[in-house]
Amino acid sequence: MPDTADLSGYTKIDLKGHYILPGLINMHVHLAGSGKPQKKQRDNEKLVNTIMSTSLTRAIAYRMVAGFAKDELLSGVTTIRTVGGLGDFDTRLRDEIKAGSKIGPRILASNQGISVPGGHMAGSVAVAASSIPDALSQLKKSKQEKVDLIKLMITGGVLDAKEKGVPGELKMPPEMVRAVCEKAHADGYLVAAHVESPEGVRVALENGVDSIEHGAKLTDEMINLFKERGAFLCTTISPALPYALFDRSITNATEVEQYNGNVVFEGIIACAKAALANDIPVVLGNDVGCPWITQYDFWRELYYFHKYVGVSNSFALYTATKRSAELAGIGSLTGSIEKAKPQT
Ligand SMILES: [Zn+2]
| pLDDT at residue number 160 | 76
Taking the centre of ligand 1 as the mean of its atom positions, its distance from the CA of residue 3, in whole angstroms, is: 40
Question: pTM of the entire structure?
Answer: 0.94
340 C-alpha to center of ligand 1: Å?
34
The rounded Å distance from CA 9 to ligand 1 centre is: 47
Separation of CA 8 and ligand 1 centre (Å): 47
Rg of the Cα atoms in the chain = 20
Q: How far is the CA of 124 from the centre of ligand 1 (A)?
A: 12
Handedness of CA 18, 8, 321, 219 (dihedral sign): negative
- pLDDT the model gives residue 159: 73
Q: How far apart are CA 306 and CA 223, in angstroms?
A: 22
**CA of 100 relative to ligand 1 center, distance in Å:** 27
Q: How many whole angstroms from 30 Cα to the centroid of ligand 1? A: 6
pLDDT recorded at residue 343? 59
pLDDT grade for 271, boundaries at 50, 70 and 90: very high
pLDDT at 307: 98
What is the DSSP pairing of strand 113-115 with strand 126-128? parallel
Strand segments, DSSP code E, in the chain are: 24-29, 77-82, 106-108, 113-115, 126-128, 149-153, 190-195, 211-214, 232-235, 282-284
Ligand 1 centroid distance, CA of 313 (Å): 24
pLDDT in tens, 226-255: 999 999 999 999 999 998 999 988 888 888
pLDDT confidence of residue 154:
97
| Share in percent of the chain as helix, strand, coil (round to 5) | 40, 15, 45
pLDDT tens-digit series, residues 161-209: 778 877 889 999 999 999 999 999 999 999 999 999 999 999 999 999 9
Q: Which amino acid is at 67?
A: G
Averaged pLDDT for residues 119-126: 92
Mean pLDDT on 53-69: 96
CA of 28 to the centre of ligand 1 (A): 6
Distance 96 CA to ligand 1 centre (A): 23
Checking if the pLDDT of 1 tops 60, the result is no
pLDDT of residue 254: 87
Q: Is a pLDDT exceeding 70 seen at residue 156?
A: yes
For the chain, what percent of residues have pLDDT higher than 70?
98
* 15-30 tens-digit pLDDT: 998 988 999 999 999 9
Say what percent of the chain tops pLDDT 90. 77
Q: How many angstroms is it from 306 CA to the middle of ligand 1?
A: 21
Centre of ligand 1 to C-alpha 194, Å, is 7
CA pseudo-torsion sign 77, 327, 135, 174: negative
